[in-house]
Structure formats: structure tokens, C-alpha cells
Amino acid sequence: MKNHCYLFPQDFVWGVATAAAQIEGAAFEDGKGESIWDRFAAVPGKVINNASPTIACDHYHRYPEDIALMRELGLRNYRFSISWPRIYPHGREGVNQKGLDFYDRLVDTLLENQITPWATLFHWDLPQALEDEGGWRVRSTAEAFAHYAATIVKRLGSRVKNWMTLNELPSFIGLGYGIGTNAPGTMESPRVVNQAYHHALLAHGYGVQAVREHGGYDARVGIAHNPETPLPVMEIPADIKAAQIAYASNTAQIMGPLYLGHYPASFLEAAGTDMPSVTNEDLALIAQPTDFLGLNLYTGSFVRAGAEEQPETLVMPDDYPRGALPWLKITPQATYWAVRHAVEVYGVKELYITENGICFDDQVNEQGEIHDLARCEYVRNYLISLHRAIQEGYPARGYFLWSFLDNYEWAEGYTKRFGIVHVDYPTQKRTPKLSAHWYARATKENRIV
């Protein structure tokens, strides 16, 4: 097959992704404890239409149906997350056996259907009991995560071999504690926010330890990060250099400790007196080698060389193409440049696109079909950009489309649909969209179709 057919490597991993709090429902069933999103959603005005994740997609009860649909579509890799408060309702003491049993059943059903599980240990749903003790502001939360992570890996490690520790620190720390648009919805001082980031990084380190100690010799572990992705306005040396300077700066707080073993000068200068409290032992824990970096990529921003060759970010006009959320500007170059930046700035050896997708106001037509052509084109063009990175030798090994199901979209409630499978929430009927059939064909043929 010729290169213009965009054939991917034979061992390329194709998958779909979800998160527990967004699809499981059963928020107060079988011993599950309250999460910060359960509490946040109960505050009037925090979520559009005051929608809650109490039922969501009812995946807790309907997972056999959902996994059967994955198999029917030919999807062979599934990234899901585990609900911490379903395992430890109070955060750290009193394991909930019914919660562990659910994930046993989920993983076994995946394997019975020849679908490889990729488990994320934390995707934003902190037990409210730990938030009441200080949440990510305090070191004890990272220590509680160590206990939780060890419990999960011991239980599932014989069957799950691909692990992610945490999902999107900027979303659950920056937006949760700094801006307040995500749970727990507070607006802390820069020093407190920086300390919370550091504690989350510690939790990542503990998660890596848990996988190394309890996951078996063949277990693999990484973190899922959503970096800001600067795109050079023109592919000329000056603009490329400016984009990489911007990338190094805006990812320093997370990628620096992970891949360099310290906080880079750019972060130290920006933080000033708001630096977190850090020990050398902390940095050694955080910087333990991982097997891959997960990148959650949706959009990027355009950068050029400005005065004295320093990065200048261009403002995108109001009519720039985007999805149904204002921040989701359509920039297919992101899957190329985010991979290239991670490799060239931080020396990352292996990467997976652990999320990529878009929301539109999908409509069911008179024939009962959802012709989400715009999503098909979005995914097609982002994959073309990723294919370019692979062709140039960058180590992108797989792609997980976000999301398998329409779901509870955090503070947007049920108003935004990211899924390739439509969910009619009143009836819980699942209907694969055109994008599901398009993506299924692409994964089967291992190329862009």
C-alpha cells in the first residue's frame, strides 16, 4: 500500500477512552463513597442544568452491552478509569469489596471479548472525604493515593498490563483549585495551587511505584498529560524555535520534574516566592522512569518569533473553526507538534495519544442515524498529522479516541457530546454514529480511510 493511503505501523495501538465519573453512574450504589464531583454537581449553578453524574451512562450496570458494542465495532483497546471513592469510600480506610468486584468483572469481560484494558488510576474523582481533609493541598492525599494505587494494581495487575497514574493535572489542579470551574471549585492562592500540583506529582510517583512493585515484570506505566501545544505559524527555524521555547516554558511545572528531575529555571522564575515546598526525595520519586507519556490533545495555539526571537502567541479570531466549546479550536497540527515537542524538548522515548476528539451538537435524523461528518473530518485530519510524526520517526505508538460514549461532560453536564456512540439519556439507548463506523474501519484496516 502506498504512503498516500496513510498506513500505520503494524503494531500501532488503536483504542477508545472514557472516564469513570463520566459514564459509570451508580454514584451511591454498592458502597461507593461521595466524590468531589458528586458534591460539586449538587451545588446549584456549578453545572449546566444542575446535571449530576448520579446516573450518567449507567455503565456500571450496562458495561456488558457497551463492551459487546466495542467488540462489534472491532475496537481492540479500551482506556477506562477506576473510581477511587468506589474502592475507598472514605479515601484511605475500609476497602469496598463490591467496588473491587466491579472492576474484576469489567476487566474479565474486556478480556473475554479480546479487548486490551488500559487503566487510569485517577481521572478527577477524588473522594470527598479526602477533600474535606485538604484534598490535593496536603501531602497526605498523595500518601492515600499510594495505598489506593497499590490496592488496585495488586487486584488487577495479573490481567491489566497498561497503566496510567493520573489524568490531566492542569484540569483537576489548575481548574479545580486555581480557577474553580472544575471540582472542588475553589480559587486558592498561587502558592497553594503550586503545592497542590507538587502533591499530585508525588501521587504519580507513588503510582509508578505501585505498578513496579505489584504489576508484574511486563507491566507498563505512564501519565496522561494535556500540555498546551504551541504551533509554529510557519515551519521555518525561527517560528519552530519560538514554539519550542513556549512549550518548554508552559510545561515546565509538570514535565520538568517528570523528565528532568527538577523544576526548571523558567518555572522557578515565574513562581518566585510561590514555589512549593519540595525535598530531594520528592523529586527522585516523581522522576522515576516511566514506559510512555500519554498526551491528551484537542487543540493548539499559533506562535511565531517575535521581538528578540521570543515567542509571540497570536490571538485566534472569533470566526476560527471550533467545536461546540469555545476553547476547542480545530488545529490538526497539534498531534504532530505535541509529539515532536515532547521528544525534542524533554527526550520522551515513547508516546500515545491517550485522548483526542471533539464535541458537536449531534442530531439524530429521521432514519435514526447520526451523520457527524464534522467529527469524522476532525479525527481524519488529526490522524493525518499524527501519521506525519510517525513517518518522520517520532515514537507515537497508539491513539485513543475520546470518547467512546456521549457522557457527563463535567461542568457542561449533558449538553456537549464527545462520543462516537450516541446516548439517549432518558432511555440509555446506544446508537453508533457515522464516526464510530468510520473509526472502526480505520482501526480494522490500520490506515486512514
Active site residue 93: no
Residues in the chain, total? 449
- How far is Cα of residue 158 from the mean position of the Cα atoms in its chain? 24
Q: d(Cα 267, Cα 225) in Å, to the nearest integer?
A: 17
430 neighbors 65 (Cβ within 8 angstroms): yes
Matching residue, cell 442530531: 363
Q: d(Cα 216, Cα 160) in Å, to the nearest integer?
A: 10
87 neighbors 96 (Cβ within 8 angstroms): yes
Report the DSSP pairing between strands 77-81 and 162-167: unpaired
> CA dist 118 to 171, 216, 323, 408, Å?
21, 15, 27, 21
Closest C-alpha among 135, 121, 44 to residue 84: 121
Closest C-alpha among 434, 344, 449, 440 to residue 389: 344
Q: Which residues partner with 232 through β-bridges? A: 303
168: its cell numbers: 490531566
Which is the catalytic residue, given 24, 131, 168, 409? 168
397: its cell numbers: 505508538
295: its cell numbers: 498526551
| Residue 57 host element (H or E) | none
Q: d(Cα 37, Cα 449) in Å, to the nearest integer?
A: 38
Active site residue 392: no
Which is the catalytic residue, given 24, 34, 131, 355? 355
Q: d(Cα 95, Cα 336) in Å, to the nearest integer?
A: 42
| Residue 312 host element (H or E) | strand 311-313
419: its cell numbers: 462520543
The stretches of 161-318 forming alpha helices (DSSP H) are 169, 190-214, 237-250, 252-255, 265-271, 280-286
∠ CA 62-183-18, nearest 5°, is: 30
- Say whether the peptide bond before residue 184 is cis (omega within 30 degrees of 0): yes
20 neighbors 119 (Cβ within 8 angstroms): no
314 neighbors 303 (Cβ within 8 angstroms): yes
What strands, in cross-sheet order, belong to the sheet with 311-313? 230-232, 301-305, 311-313
Q: Would you please indicate which residues are annotated as catalytic (active-site) residues?
A: 168, 355
